[in-house]
Amino acid sequence: PDKVMNKLVSLAKRRGFIFPSSEIYGGLSSCFDYGPLGSEMKKNIKDLWWNAMTRRHQNIVGLDASIMMNPTVWEASGHVASFNDPLIDDKTTKRRYRADHLIENHIEKLHREGKEAEAAAVKVAYEAAEGTEDPNRTLYNIIIESGIKAPDTGSADWTEVRQFNLMFQCNMGAIAGSGGVVYLRPETAQGIFVNFHNVREASRMKVPFGIAQIGKAFRNEIVKGNFIFRMVEFEQMEMQYFVKPGTQLEAFEAWREERFRWYSETLGMTKEKLHWYKHDKLAHYADLAYDIKFEFPFGTEEIEGIHSRTDFDLTQHQEYSGKSMEYIDQTTNERYIPYVVETSSGCDRTFLALLSDAYQEDVVDGEPRVMLKLAPKVAPVKAAVLPLMKKGEMAEKARQLCAALSESFMVQYDDAASIGKRYRRQDEIGTPFCFTVDHDTLENGTITVRYRDTAAQERIEMSKAAEFLASKLV
């Protein structure tokens, strides 16, 4: 798995998908920059999500809320008090781990070894931990009693478990001091909740309706790693769907299905690598929670959470702001605080899932090649225009074709090196089609289409190239 990840990281850097942040200064842990192709592909993902939500649903509208908000928002939401990770240190190496992750991995290991009774016992204790008088102590005891060792060293010399708040704090205004503390949002959802009435009124929405938002979120994650899987600054694509209490489970099921299809059908991810994970241990405000997980090279991990959050958030904001969060149904005159079904996807994790799913090595025309088998909709470059000759009429025709296609599609012009080399350059960045302008183009106005996946070629009329591309992108 490390080998696969190393290949992905190196391809991503070499071809301009992802660079380490501020690399000339040695980088910054868990921060990355999206390069020319990466930013293009990320934009495609976000557009596909945005369209699937707002364009395809008359009752879902968009929002772009600010990253910094009135700090009371985060008191109301519970983040100040409890957006914590339980951490534990290995005294020998001073390495820090998430206590909950250590226990969850241990339970999985017991399952794999067929020790079902033991796994069940640890699980019961773990799930009850939050309700105990000293949850940190309980987690610590579980780790000690189960003999859980540090994954890297096998040592079991643990410190106590401590809670660590994940929110980044900064100071607003000229004078630093506790009065000016603001937070970088750790999720985009709260911007949606506090705008519930603004959006509802402005766009005349009736329950059920949804608010969709794409934006940066920040978490001071202590345990980092796995490239862009876990970052301190990342992008979320969230949609909060407001429903009448009592109808949330029906809405939940519908969204669960729709979101799964978005990954498998719209983005073209391998269906067999997508899995459901049902939360047994629910947050106190949730009445149902599932994650969509993807088989990454380093393990099967979450890419999206779908949660039935009840009326928790709106009720909290009503209490803290003193403003009513009730909805009045105009037809029945019923008043209630809506329930929320949320779909919360990570753009960067989706990106990484697509990249690792697409990476392939094969042999074409007797030569090994690397290919990103990305769906045309996701691929950063839709087509490359390749003239057989660098100069003269062929180049002129190719330039014309490139300019015409550029009106609607991201295309690349490449006239450097042999045609075989140029095909491989495009294969490696996932370009699904190459258009070659050659002698026949000058004679009869046709070009060659070369397909990335099969390396098969066919001739089409140059004037039909745009139509051809459009038909592959629906």
303 in contact with ligand ATP (CB under 6 A): yes
Region near ligand ATP per CB under 6 A, out of 1-9, 303-311, 327-335, 441-449? 303-311
> Which of 54, 213, 226, 236 touches ligand ATP by CB under 6 A?
236
86 in contact with ligand ATP (CB under 6 A): no
Shortest reach from residue 178's CB to ligand ATP, in Å: 27
Tokens 């766009």 -> residue: 203
Query: Which ranges of 222-280 does DSSP label H, i.e. alpha helix?
Result: 248-261
**Could you tell me the two tokens for 217?**
């979120």
Region near ligand ATP per CB under 6 A, out of 87-95, 257-265, 343-351, 411-419? 343-351
- Which residue, 172, 312, 166, 135, is CA-closest to 231? 166
Cis previous bond, 208, omega within 30: yes
User: Is residue 424 part of an annotated ligand binding site?
Assistant: no
Helix (H, G, I), strand (E, B), or coil: what is residue 365? coil
79 in contact with ligand ATP (CB under 6 A): no
User: Is residue 422 part of an annotated ligand binding site?
Assistant: no
> Which of 40, 89, 295, 302 touches ligand ATP by CB under 6 A?
302
User: Is residue 349 part of an annotated ligand binding site?
Assistant: yes
Nearest 10 degrees: Cα torsion 337, 338, 341, 342 = -70
User: Is residue 187 part of an annotated ligand binding site?
Assistant: yes
**Could you tell me the two tokens for 382?**
């839709």
User: Is residue 344 part of an annotated ligand binding site?
Assistant: yes
305 in contact with ligand ATP (CB under 6 A): yes
- Which residue, 194, 233, 232, is CA-closest to 213? 194
Which segments of 359-455 are extended strands (E)?
A: 359-364, 367-372, 383-387, 411-413, 433-437, 446-451
344 in contact with ligand ATP (CB under 6 A): yes
User: Is residue 463 part of an annotated ligand binding site?
Assistant: no
How many residues contact ligand ATP, by CB under 6 A? 16
> Which of 304, 311, 414, 438 touches ligand ATP by CB under 6 A?
304
SS3 content of the chain, % helix, strand, coil (to 5): 40, 30, 35
104 in contact with ligand ATP (CB under 6 A): no
What span, in angstroms and rounded, lies between the C-alpha atoms of 105 and 299? 11
CA angle 450/451/455 to nearest 5° reads: 85
Ramachandran angles phi, psi of 57, nearest 5°: -130, 115
Q: For residue 127, which amino acid is it?
A: E
Helix (H) or strand (E) holding 263: none
Q: Are the C-beta atoms of residues 286 and 326 closer than 8 Å to each other?
A: no
> Which of 106, 123, 185, 219 touches ligand ATP by CB under 6 A?
219
338 in contact with ligand ATP (CB under 6 A): no
234 in contact with ligand ATP (CB under 6 A): yes
Shortest reach from residue 234's CB to ligand ATP, in Å: 4
231 in contact with ligand ATP (CB under 6 A): yes
For ligand ATP, the binding residues in 346-375 under the rule CB under 6 A are 346, 348-349
User: Is residue 305 part of an annotated ligand binding site?
Assistant: no
Q: What's the DSSP call for residue 53?
A: I
Chain residues in the site for ligand ATP (CB under 6 A) = 187, 219, 221, 230-231, 234, 236, 302-305, 344-346, 348-349
Q: Which residues are annotated as a binding site?
A: 98, 187, 219-221, 229-238, 302-303, 342-349
Which residues carry a binding-site annotation for substrate? Answer: 98, 187, 234-238, 342-346
